[in-house]
Structure formats: structure tokens, C-alpha cells
């Protein structure tokens, strides 16, 4: 049995750890509230942007039944022989299986696509993804640094611009996003979402709006100055918004996962403190009993 001093030292250590995990839980909770408000606002904007883009990219058939060519390079569809995947992880740990789930899903997608004869490259956000795929000698296209330090539209534009360059040069045929979609503080879902080419059927967002926010859709738009000029601005903006939304989703999921993990760690620390306290009391009681027996035994020996 450990000595009383060793048990006391361990109790103090676990109490210190409990204070740290409780503080980290509170910080993650505060950040989660801000991230949740941000992602909820962004989802509505992303849905409306997609609706407008969907109308602008509707199939246009000529009198002879032919379909008009895409009015923007990002709408061009090619056979997927070369694919780029943007993997979003965090820079820090202590958030449960958040990063492990993303990295394993991206690794599985990488090997499955290579098994189908596709060339796969990875663009990585977050130190956890960087370290994970470096150890596995993955084909890394680009590593983004400091994304989570300044998470805003300008940062999303930098990421989107880097991703768009090889697609516009026809070096890759498709781009996919691999990230954790935020559901709740305790639930995050790993998704693999198509980013490019912009395809209406594949990129439909499934975020349902409240009934009071729904509006009737207009079947026809009047484009001014024209459809091509509108798409020149709308399509890159849609890509930027999609990247920003995925970053917001991942950020909110990270804070939710960390808050849940720290809550579990705090509860485990309390249970450990209770167990160690019980062990300490038993050891102290045994020590006192032993001393009393020694005293009584010594007194009886002196009487004899």
C-alpha cells in the first residue's frame, strides 16, 4: 500500500489537474457560444448564395436540344483523374477524437481513391493533420499555417485562391473538403463534401430553414449586366463562402469536442479524488490503529 505522503501528493496533483480541466471547459464553452452564433449566421448566407448560383447555372438547352457550354471555368466538369482534398483539423489537442476521426477518414478516402486509379493530393489545415500525414508520407499539395489564429473571410480567400489555382490550370479535376460538421456540443459528423466543380446536385446544402424564413422562389431571373459577368463574381464568391463555412463548422466542432472532453476529464478527476481520499483515510486509520496496538502492547509489557 502506498504511504500516506505519496497518497497526499497524488491527491494534490489530481486536484490541480481538475482545476485546469474545469477552466479549459469554461473557456471552450465561451468560445463555442461565439462559434455557434457565427456558424448559424453563415449557414443562412451560404444557403441563399447557393440558391442564386443554382438559378444562374441552370441548364440552358437550345432549340435543337443541345446544352450550352458552362459560362465559367469553375463549372467545367472533367473525369476525376486527379483529386485534391482539403483536410481541416485543429492546431491543438485535448479535444477527444476530433482530430483522429478527420485524419482517419481522409486517409481512408485517400487510399480508396488511389485504389480506383485516381491521383490524390492533400491540402492541410492545422498542425494535427500536418503531423499525421507527414508520418505517413502522404502526397501533400500545400500546408496552410496560422488559419485558426485569424479566422475570417480574408483567410478563407487565401485558402480558396490556393485551391483554385491548380483547378483552373486543369492540373486537378475535383476538390473535396474533409471536416467535422457541427451538430451540437456533443455531436460532430465527419463529412467529405464536393467543392469543385460546382455541381448543383452534389453541392446542395441540407440546412433546412424555419418555415417563417422560407420565401417563394422566382422561376426566372433577369441578369444584369449578363449571366457571364454575374458568374465571374458569383462562382468565386460561392467557393470562398463554402471554404469559410467549412472552417467555421470545424472551429465550432473543435470547441464542442474540447468542452465535452474537458467535462469528462473533470468528472473523472473528481472520481479519482474521491477514491484517493477514501484510500488515504483507510491508510491513516490503519496507521493509527497500528500505533494504538503498539502502545497498548508496550503498556501491557511494562505491567508484566
Here the cell at position 172 is: 486537378
Among 56, 95, 103, 217, which one carries the catalytic annotation? 95
Distance CA 140, CA 206 (A): 30
HEC profile of 33-98? HHHHHHHHHHHHHHHHHHHHHHHHCCCCECCCCCECCCCCHHHCCCCCCEEEEEEECCCCCCCCCH
Closest CA to 43 of 207, 235, 196: 207
| φ, ψ of residue 262 in degrees (nearest 5) | -70, -30
C-alpha 93: how far from chain center = 12
CA distances to 17, 286, 302, 304 from 296, in Å: 42, 15, 10, 12
Letter string b/e over residues 60-85, b meaning 16 or more CB atoms within 10 A of that residue's CB: eeeeeeeeeeebbebbeeeebebbbb
Q: How far is CA 126 from CA 24, 42, 142, in A?
A: 20, 22, 12
Told to judge if 56 belongs to the known catalytic residues of this protein, a careful annotator would answer: no
Pairing of strands 119-125, 174-182: unpaired
CB contact set of 12 (below 8 Å; sequence gap of 6+): none
Q: Which active-site residues does the annotation give?
A: 95
Amino acid at each position: 500500500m502506498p504511504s500516506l505522503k505519496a497518497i497526499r501528493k497524488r491527491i494534490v496533483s489530481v486536484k490541480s489537474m481538475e482545476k485546469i480541466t474545469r477552466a479549459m471547459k469554461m473557456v471552450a464553452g465561451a468560445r463555442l457560444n461565439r462559434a455557434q452564433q457565427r456558424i448559424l449566421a453563415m449557414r443562412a448566407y451560404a444557403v441563399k448564395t447557393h440558391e442564386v448560383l443554382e438559378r444562374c447555372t441552370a441548364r440552358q438547352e437550345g432549340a435543337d436540344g443541345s446544352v450550352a457550354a458552362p459560362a465559367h471555368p469553375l463549372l467545367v466538369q472533367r473525369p476525376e483523374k486527379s483529386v485534391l482534398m482539403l483536410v481541416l483539423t485543429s492546431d491543438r489537442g485535448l479535444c477527444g477524437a476530433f482530430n483522429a476521426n478527420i485524419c482517419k477518414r481522409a486517409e481512408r478516402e485517400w487510399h480508396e481513391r488511389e485504389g480506383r486509379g485516381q491521383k490524390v493530393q492533400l491540402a492541410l489545415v492545422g498542425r494535427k493533420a500536418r503531423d499525421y500525414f507527414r508520418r505517413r508520407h502522404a502526397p501533400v499539395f500545400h500546408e496552410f499555417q496560422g488559419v485558426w489564429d485569424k479566422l475570417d473571410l480574408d483567410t478563407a480567400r487565401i485558402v480558396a485562391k490556393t485551391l483554385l489555382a491548380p483547378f483552373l490550370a486543369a492540373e486537378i479535376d475535383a476538390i473535396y473538403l474533409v471536416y467535422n460538421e457541427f451538430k451540437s456540443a456533443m455531436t460532430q459528423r465527419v463529412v467529405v463534401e464536393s467543392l469543385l466543380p460546382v455541381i448543383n446536385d452534389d453541392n446542395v446544402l441540407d440546412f433546412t430553414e424555419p418555415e417563417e424564413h422560407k420565401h417563394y422562389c422566382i422561376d426566372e431571373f433577369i441578369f444584369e449586366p449578363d449571366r457571364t459577368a454575374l458568374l465571374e463574381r458569383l462562382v468565386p464568391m460561392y467557393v470562398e463562402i463554402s471554404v469559410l463555412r467549412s472552417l467555421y463548422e470545424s472551429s465550432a466542432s473543435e470547441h464542442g469536442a474540447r468542452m465535452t472532453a474537458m467535462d469528462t476529464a473533470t468528472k473523472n478527476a473528481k472520481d479519482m479524488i474521491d477514491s484517493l481520499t477514501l484510500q488515504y483515510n483507510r491508510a491513516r486509520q490503519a496507521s493509527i490503529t497500528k500505533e494504538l496496538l503498539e502502545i497498548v502492547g508496550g503498556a501491557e509489557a511494562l505491567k508484566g
